Structure formats: structure tokens, C-alpha cells
Amino acid sequence: MSDNDTFRQWLRTTREAAGLSQQKVADALKAQGFHLVQSQVAKAERGERPLRLDEAAAITRLFGTTLDVALGLKEGTGDSLAAQQLASRTSTLQRIQAAIVAELGGAA
């Protein structure tokens, strides 16, 4: 399997495990100065859009890890799992908050 295939599979698996949408990943990258949209993240996961090295490095940082871990060249630490769990819990809390705001009729 090529490094590109390994990375794209890591990206999808890690993003889904963290409970993040492709849009959330794109938004987080925009906050770091990258100009990716949801469809580009989707294409990267399918192998239809190559990622630049700086984009791939930024993506791994979003999940609290490094490129060598994402490519399977080095064993990951518990920190990356903690980052995934934090992202998942944050996403859950955001959904709960949105449901509460909707239930209250938009008054927050």
C-alpha cells in the first residue's frame, strides 16, 4: 500500500473515530490558514485529491499526532487517542447545545 493510501485511510478512520465531519476538519484547517473545503477533504479521503505535505502535517496536528504515526512508521502515543476522545466529546457537546437551543426556540 502506498503512503498516500495509508494516509487517506488513517484520515478517514481517525476523523470518524473522533466524531468529526469532513466539514469540521475543513473548518479547523481554515483556522490554520489553509483553504480547504469539505469536498476537498472528501476527495482526499477517497484518494482523488493529493494533499500537500503542509496540509497533511496540519491534519495530523489536528488529531494530536505526527505524520510518521499516521503513516504507520512509528507507534502512536496515548496523546493521539486522548485528542480523538476530546474531539468526539466536544462534537457531542456541540450537538447537545444545538438541540437545547433549538428546543428553546433559538433563545440562548
Domains of the chain, start order: 3-103 (1.10.260.40)
Mean pLDDT of the chain: 86
Residue with cell 495530523: 60
pLDDT at 69: 87
Q: Are 41 and 22 in contact (CB under 8 A)?
A: yes
Could you give the percent of the chain with pLDDT greater than 90? Answer: 52
Report pLDDT digits (tens) over 35-64: 999 999 999 999 999 999 999 999 999 988
pLDDT at 107 over 80: no
pLDDT at 77: 54
In angstroms, rounded to a whole number, what is the distance separating the alpha carbons of residues 36 and 72? 25
